[in-house]
């Protein structure tokens, strides 16, 4: 890898790391991070495909309250770099991408550990901010805020740069040495892993009231002609209609006797 | 009477811009407090000309704070309105401001998480990813642009809304609007997740459960197909009427085909429900993910998948 490429990868990694905590612009989402790594290293299309595959797995990963989810930032950046290293060799692109997906999972745990370290290191930082507030030092608070954000970026940038210096031959040799059953098995496992992310989302939102809508979504999706946008429209319509009916039902419920036929007869 | 000190639109925009970095100094002690104080600086500079008031304001905004980073915007708006009143002499003490922040952050986080993390991001992410899987650059662009347009529009307009409505907003919030948004987002989210489970969790069982020798006429007799264009035409015509089952004399049915006749994606559904149950039993998602890879490898070796 040329110096420029490594520099650009470091910038992407820095953005992804910062976003891993900010959760605003979404540079840490695999579909964005892997695409950017692919773009700066000359493997755009493979990067997009890896990003799309990892995104499907990471859909439900979210930081809720003080709980922190597996870290998408390190998983996407590091697995994309490993993929780029592996692509120059004899192994075909799809196998390299599948292997990168499998590698991403343990990386997301390592990233989680790193972000916990950073969030602990941020405690003294806010104490420095307290001290600056005590003196009315605006610039001090701003500087420490920026340092804290950069620290989260460096958390991903350092491992990314380190990975860039692993010789490509070593990654390729490891991929070539991997038996077919292992590669196929991992890609089968990868197909199932998305279920975990969806389960995390379901557990957050499932109530007696919402379960029927899950069942409906599942069955409607069996009609393969309906695209995701179509599913989205159907979902929005159902939610609006349901809320509307619930509201009108609630206001009628006060006057009605709970017997719809009786109400109709009474109205005559 | 002295002229009222007001925040300009530029000040408010500057606060909204900084508010995007709310979680930068997220820490285990007071969580988003540093980022909150950082966001408030342009307003504090405008409202309080003398040093003591500035120091008091900065210290006031270093208190514990934690909510969803986007729905925090209306809280910012209300706080700006309160600070503006305070700077103009209204008797608002530190506790009142902290009280409003704490009072709003809980219920708002309860809306932000299902609306953004569990509904909007899975939907946009899945749309982008399904395009990206074919290598199309439109996938990442669609996701990135749509997300950021929606996000910034949301934080700006809700902050302005909070600023204009002021503390009145807490009445609106308790008036069932939040409940409605949460329940609407949950319904949409659950519907979409149901669809995603069907489409994107892939399990395929390979064992052959039955092989039947088909009757003459139910399959293409390849020995009778001539090897010219006419032959190809005849083969395609037969294929059209017989379907893929007609390609071989022996009709093989895999376990997967049987399951798909019940409902396509049944195994994916069961796997997802199993994951839900395991997560409820406090099994770490990482453990489940690694276990699924191991199951995938073992099942492949055993010839099941």
What mean pLDDT do residues B290-303 have?
88
Rounded to the nearest angstrom, the minimum Cα separation between A108 and chain B is: 9
Residue-wise pLDDT tens digits, B160-218:
999 998 867 666 666 677 778 888 888 998 998 899 888 888 888 877 777 777 777 77
What mean pLDDT do residues A262-268 have?
57
Helix, strand, coil proportions of chain B in percent (round to 5)? 70, 5, 25
List of chain B residues whose C-beta atoms are within 8 Å of the C-beta of residue A73: none
Residue B127 has pLDDT above 50, yes or no: yes
Q: Does A125 touch chain B (CB under 8 A)?
A: yes
Q: How confident is the model at residue A251 (pLDDT cuts 50, 70, 90)?
A: low
**CA geometry: angle B279, B284, B288, nearest 5 deg:** 80
Higher per-residue pLDDT: A98 or B21: B21
Residue A204 has pLDDT above 50, yes or no: yes
Highest mean pLDDT among A82-91, B64-73, B114-123, B230-239: B64-73
Q: How confident is the model at residue A250 (pLDDT cuts 50, 70, 90)?
A: low
CA distances from B65 to A118, A126, B157 (A): 18, 13, 21
Cα-to-chain-centroid distance, residue A25: 12
Phi, psi (degrees; rounded to nearest 5) at A64? -115, 120
List of chain B residues whose C-beta atoms are within 8 Å of the C-beta of residue A55: 125-126, 128-129, 132, 143
Give the 3-state secondary structure of B162-201: HHHHHHHHHHHHHHHHHHHHHHHHHHHHHHHHHHHHHHHC
Q: Please count the other Cβ atoms lying within 10 Å of the Cβ belonging to residue A77.
A: 34
In contact, A235 and B188? CB cutoff 8 Å: yes
pLDDT of residue A68: 65
Q: How far apart are CA A38 and CA A35, in angstroms?
A: 5
Q: How far apart are CA B268 and CA B108, in angstroms?
A: 33
- Name every residue whose Cβ is closer than 8 Å to that of residue B167 and which is 6 or more positions away in sequence: B78, B81, B82, B100
Give the 3-state secondary structure of A182-245: HHHHHHHHHHHHHHHHHHHHHHHHCCCCCHHHHHHHHHHHCCCCCCHHHHHHHHHHHHHHHHHH
Query: Of the given ranges (A95-104, B8-17, B30-39, B242-251), which has the lowest mean pLDDT?
Result: B242-251
Whether A217 and B198 lie within 8 Å, measured CB to CB: yes
What mean pLDDT do residues B5-33 have?
93
Q: Does A248 touch chain B (CB under 8 A)?
A: no
Segment (H or E) for B253: strand B250-254
Please give the residue of chain A at the shortest CA–CA distance from B49: A136
* CB half-sphere exposure, A197, CA atoms < 13 A: 32
Higher per-residue pLDDT: A266 or A244: A244
pLDDT of residue A17: 94
Task: Please give the structure tokens belonging to residue B141.
Answer: 């662009």
ipTM over 0.90: no
pLDDT of residue A254: 47
Residue B219 has pLDDT above 70, yes or no: yes
3-state DSSP assignment of residue B271: helix
**Which residues 26-45 in chain A show a CB within 8 A of chain B?**
26, 29, 31-32, 35, 44-45
pLDDT of residue A260: 55
pLDDT of residue A255: 47
Residue-wise pLDDT tens digits, A59-113:
878 776 556 678 899 999 999 999 999 887 777 888 888 888 888 888 888 888 8
pLDDT of residue B172: 62
pLDDT of residue A46: 93
Residue B132 has pLDDT above 50, yes or no: yes
Q: How far apart are CA A38 and CA A40, in angstroms?
A: 6
Q: How far apart are CA B202 and CA A39, in angstroms?
A: 29
Residue linked to tokens 């390979």: B206
Higher per-residue pLDDT: B295 or A88: B295
Distance linking the first and last C-alpha atoms of chain B? 81
- DSSP label at residue B65: B
Rounded to the nearest angstrom, the minimum Cα separation between A261 and chain B is: 29
Report CA Rg, chain B.
30
Q: Which of A135, A195, A209 comes nearest B272 by C-beta?
A: A195
What mean pLDDT do residues A159-187 have?
86
Higher per-residue pLDDT: B200 or B141: B141
């Amino acid at each position: 890898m040329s110096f420029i490429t490594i520099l650009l990868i470091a910038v992407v990694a820095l953005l992804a790391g910062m976003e891993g905590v900010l959760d605003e612009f979404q540079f840490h989402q695999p579909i964005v991070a892997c695409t950017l790594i692919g773009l700066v290293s000359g493997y755009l299309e493979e990067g997009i495909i890896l990003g799309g595959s990892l995104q499907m797995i990471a859909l439900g990963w979210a930081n809720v309250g003080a709980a922190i989810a597996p870290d998408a930032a390190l998983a996407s950046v590091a697995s994309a770099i490993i993929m780029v290293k592996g692509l120059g060799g004899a192994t075909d692109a799809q196998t390299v991408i599948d292997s990168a997906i499998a590698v991403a999972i343990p990386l997301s745990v390592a990233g989680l550990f790193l972000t916990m370290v950073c969030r602990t290191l941020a405690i003294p930082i806010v104490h420095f901010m307290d001290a600056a507030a005590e003196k009315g030092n605006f610039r001090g608070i701003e500087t420490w805020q920026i340092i804290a954000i950069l620290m989260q970026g460096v958390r991903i940038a350092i491992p990314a740069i380190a990975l860039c210096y692993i010789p490509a031959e070593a990654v390729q040799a490891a991929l070539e040495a991997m038996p077919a059953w292992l590669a196929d098995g991992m890609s089968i496992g990868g197909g199932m892993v998305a279920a975990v992310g969806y389960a995390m989302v379901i557990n957050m939102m499932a109530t007696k009231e919402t379960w029927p809508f899950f069942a409906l979504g599942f069955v409607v999706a069996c009609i393969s002609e309906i695209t995701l946008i179509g599913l989205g429209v159907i979902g929005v319509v159902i939610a609006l209609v349901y809320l509307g009916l619930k509201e009108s039902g609630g206001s009628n419920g006060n006057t009605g006797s709970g017997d719809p036929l009786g109400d109709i007869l009474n109205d005559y | 009477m002295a002229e009222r000190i007001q925040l300009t639109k530029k000040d408010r925009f500057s606060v909204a811009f900084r508010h995007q970095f709310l979680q930068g100094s997220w820490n285990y002690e007071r969580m988003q407090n540093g980022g909150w104080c950082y966001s408030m600086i342009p307003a504090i500079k405008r409202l309080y000309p003398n040093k003591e008031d500035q120091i008091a304001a900065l210290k006031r905004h270093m208190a514990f704070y934690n909510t969803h980073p986007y729905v925090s915007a209306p809280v910012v708006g209300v706080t700006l309105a309160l600070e503006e009143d305070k700077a103009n002499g209204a008797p608002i003490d530190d506790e009142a401001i902290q009280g409003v922040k704490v009072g709003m952050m809980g219920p708002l986080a309860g809306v932000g998480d299902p609306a953004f993390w569990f509904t909007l991001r899975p939907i946009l992410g899945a749309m982008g990813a399904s395009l990206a899987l074919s290598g199309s650059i439109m996938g990442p662009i669609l996701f990135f642009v749509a997300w950021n347009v929606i996000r910034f529009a949301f934080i700006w307009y809700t902050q302005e809304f909070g600023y204009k409505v002021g503390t009145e907003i807490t009445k609106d919030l308790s008036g069932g609007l939040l409940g409605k948004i949460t329940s609407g987002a949950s319904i949409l989210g659950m519907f979409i997740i149901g669809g995603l489970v069907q489409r994107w969790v892939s399990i395929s069982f390979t064992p052959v459960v039955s092989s039947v020798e088909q009757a003459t006429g139910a399959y293409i007799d390849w020995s009778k197909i001539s090897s010219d264009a006419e032959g190809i035409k005849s083969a395609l015509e037969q294929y059209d009427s017989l379907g893929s089952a007609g390609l071989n004399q022996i009709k093989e049915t895999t376990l997967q085909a049987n399951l798909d006749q019940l409902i396509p994606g049944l195994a994916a559904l069961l796997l997802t429900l199993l994951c839900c149950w395991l997560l409820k039993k406090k099994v770490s998602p990482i453990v489940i993910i690694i276990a699924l890879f191991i199951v995938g490898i073992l099942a492949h070796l055993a010839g099941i998948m």
